[in-house]
Chains A and B, each alone.
Chain A
C-alpha cells in the first residue's frame, strides 16, 4: 500500500534554530513529490516540486531535498513567520490526472 509519513508531527524551534522536517514515502512508483505550506484557516501554498533522487530546490530559508525513500525540508535560521503546517504530497506514476497523496503534516512553531 502506498504511504506517505511525515515526522515529527510537531516541531518547536527558537528563532534562528535550524532544523529539518522529514517526509518518507513507500510508493509503487514516484512521479513527483510536492511540498506545501498551510497557514491556519487557509489553503495550502505551493513551495517545491522534486522529481528525482538527488534533486534539491531552495527558496529563501527553505531547502528541499529528495532521495529514493524520503524528502527533507531544511529550514535555516527560521523566523516566527515560518510558523505553519508543512505538508508533503506524492504523485504516483500512472495516476490519473495528477492525483496527490498527502502526508499528515508537520506543525512548525518558531518562537521569537
Chain B
C-alpha cells in the first residue's frame, strides 16, 4: 500500500516551453501533497504544499507564477513549470500525506531544459 506515482519520469524540453508533471496517490486519498526539488548530492527542498480544492502554499523564494500547482482531486496534483529555462533543470519529487500523517514519495521526475 501507500504507492505514489509520478509522470513523466524523465522529460527534456526546449527553453521557453512549459512542462507538466503529474503526481498520483494510487491506493489512498491525500488531501495534502507536497512538491520538492532536489539538486545533485543535496537533500530535498520543499517548494510548495498543495491542498485539494484550494490554492497551494509556496515556500519563500519559490515563484508561484513559474511553478503552477493544481490539486484537483484527492489523488492527483500537478506541477507545471512555465517558460522553463536551463536553471530549472532538476529532479522534482512529489509526496502525498496519508491519514496517518506519513508522507509517501513518488519516484521523481528528471527535468532537463535545453
Contact B43 A99, beta carbon cutoff 8 Å:
no
**Most chain A CB neighbours (cut-off 10 Å) among B2, B43, B93, B102:** B43
Classify chain A: how many residues form its interface, as a range.
20 to 34
Binds B, one of A40-48, A53-61, A70-78: A40-48
* Number of inter-chain CB pairs below 8 Å: 54
The count of residues in chain B whose C-beta lies closer than 8 Å to any C-beta of chain A is 25
CA distance A104 to B43 in the complex (A): 5
Q: Using a CB-CB cutoff of 8 Å, which residues 71-105 of chain B contact chain A? A: 91, 93, 95, 97, 101-105
Which A residues are within 8 Å of any B CB, using their own CB?
32, 34, 36, 41-46, 49, 87, 91, 96-100, 102-105
- Which residues of B are interface residues toward A (Cβ below 8 A)? 2, 4, 6, 32, 34, 42-44, 46, 49, 51, 57, 91, 93, 95, 97, 101-108, 110
